[in-house]
Structure 1
């Protein structure tokens, strides 16, 4: 008879106990859900991190869905708001990417 796997130490014991009570089919479904949830959490964290780098003073002409991009021009880096308006991509200058430069 195969040995039961050892649960990861970082999981709460109540969760591992609950998992032991599930059938193999339920565990497969749970594994797929957990993978999807982990990807979602990663994307949320990445979006939160990206929003920390966005300036707080968004001009009125810049829509809420705009993102900040960095463009290199003549060996200098500049930040711009950028968004899609129909078939066009629009930009609004923010300032140097590294204000100390």
Structure 2
């Protein structure tokens, strides 16, 4: 059997400070808000600076949580981040502030 091929999904990620354990809650917010994933870390970062969130998904955000796919998810997210960074032009230190990034992103 061939190994699975990772896929990249673009969409709305919900971020909060509690672990998602309810499949019903997950499905309702996914349907009503167009959320494709739930996570717990990005909101704390985003509140301080504009950023791109790249996550490796390792469970279904329900009561059947396990750690079986965590290393695989982390490795695929790291590979994706590296590929994105390799496409960005090099910028000298201090050349652009985070406020400049926010302006470019329409913030």
Give your verdict on TM over 0.5.
Answer: no
Q: TM-score, normalised by structure 2?
A: 0.29
Larger of the two Rg values belongs to structure: 1
Larger RCO (CA within 8 A; separation ≥ 6): 2
Which has the larger share of strand? 1
Q: TM-score, normalised by structure 1?
A: 0.30
